[in-house]
Structure 1
């Protein structure tokens, strides 16, 4: 699994689902460190879920792209 957070300033990529939490009702994205402490909070603008096929290795990765604002 790959989680991509995009804003106007940067693109960040995470592979651990516990690093990022999406709150759809509140329209918030929260990013946590390895100890579970909140690092940053963003406003969710849009989200997209895609599948990235790696035919050479016969694998598919789930890619969650989150467009956010600070």
Structure 2
């Protein structure tokens, strides 16, 4: 059984940084598996997404309260 890592990014910048990290880790250990929350760049690197960050991306007090149960 290979290495499985849980990784989370909450916005586009984090998605890009995490995708580069995933690529570098895969170069060192080809069997590494990534599971977590991310965006399209991470998914392109092989992330098994349990949820897209787009569904969790909120800002502002009222928006957070309106979507509290789904976050």
- TM-score, structure 2 normalization: 0.26
Q: For the pair shown, which has the larger CA radius of gyration, 1 or 2?
A: 2
Q: Which has the higher strand share?
A: 1
- TM-score, structure 1 normalization: 0.26
